[in-house]
Amino acid sequence: MVKLFKLHKFFGLLVGLFLLVLGLTGFFINNRQWNFLYTTTVGNVPNTTLTEDKKLFEAYWVDSEDTDHIIVGGKRGIFETFDEGETYSQMTDLQCLAIKTDANTSYAATSDGIYVLKDEKWNPYALQGNYVNALSVTDKYMLASIDKHRLLLIKRDDASVVSDTVVKIDASQLQDDITLKNLIKDLHFGRGLLDGKLSALLNDYGALVLIFLSLSGYLVWWYIHLKKKAEMSRKLIKWHANSVVVLAFIPLTILAVTGIFLNHSGGLKKFMTETVVPHSVLPPVYSSLTSDIWSVDFDGTTYRIGNRYGVYKSTDLKSWKQETKGFAYRMARIDGVLYVSVKDGSNRFYDGVWKTLEDVPYTFKDAYDYDDEVKFFTYKHYEGMMPEFEDATLFSTLRTIHGGVFMAPWWKWINDFVAIALLILGFTGISRWIHKKRLFSKRTPKQE
Q: What is the pLDDT along the chain (448 residues), one digit of tens a residue?
A: 668 888 999 999 999 999 999 999 999 999 999 999 999 999 999 999 999 999 999 999 999 889 999 999 999 999 999 998 999 999 999 999 999 998 789 999 999 999 999 999 999 999 999 999 999 999 999 999 999 999 999 999 999 999 999 999 999 999 999 999 999 999 999 999 999 899 999 999 999 999 999 999 999 888 888 777 777 778 888 888 888 999 999 999 999 999 999 999 999 999 999 999 999 999 999 999 999 999 999 999 999 999 999 999 999 999 999 999 999 999 999 999 999 999 988 999 999 999 999 989 889 999 999 888 999 999 887 877 899 999 999 999 999 999 999 999 999 999 999 999 999 999 999 998 888 777 666 665 554 4
Query: By the 8 A CB rule, do 325 and 180 touch?
Result: no
Quote the CA–CA distance of 35 and 125 in Å, as a whole number.
19
Quote the CA–CA distance of 400 and 305 in Å, as a whole number.
31
Consecutive H or E run containing 42: strand 41-42
Predicted local distance difference test score (pLDDT) of residue 366 = 96
Quote the CA–CA distance of 400 and 412 in Å, as a whole number.
11
Beta bridge partners of 99: 108
Q: By C-alpha distance, which of 154, 87, 83 is closest to 116?
A: 154
Predicted local distance difference test score (pLDDT) of residue 383 = 73
**Helix runs in 165-298, H state only:** 180-188, 198-226, 230-240, 243-263, 269-274
Query: Given CA atoms 93, 94, 96, 99 in this order, what sign does their dihedral have?
Result: negative
CATH architecture under which domain 38-174+288-401 falls: 7 Propeller (2.130)
Q: Which residues of 36-59 are buried (b: 16+ CB within 10 A; e: fewer)?
A: ebbeebeeebeebbbebbbebbbb
pTM: 0.93
Residue ranges per domain, the chain?
2-30+178-285+414-443, 38-174+288-401
The phi, psi pair for 426, rounded to 5°, reads: -65, -45
Predicted local distance difference test score (pLDDT) of residue 362 = 87
Alpha-carbon dihedral 58, 198, 271, 56, rounded to 10 degrees: 20
Query: By the 8 A CB rule, do 363 and 64 touch?
Result: no
Query: By the 8 A CB rule, do 349 and 332 touch?
Result: no
CB proximity list for 319: less than 8 A, separation 6 or greater: 170
Query: By the 8 A CB rule, do 432 and 241 touch?
Result: yes
Q: What is the DSSP string of 321-342?
A: EEEEESEEEEEEEETTEEEEEE
Q: Which residues of 286-310 are buried (b: 16+ CB within 10 A; e: fewer)?
A: bebbbbbbbbbbbeeeebbbbbbbb
The phi, psi pair for 314, rounded to 5°, reads: -155, 150
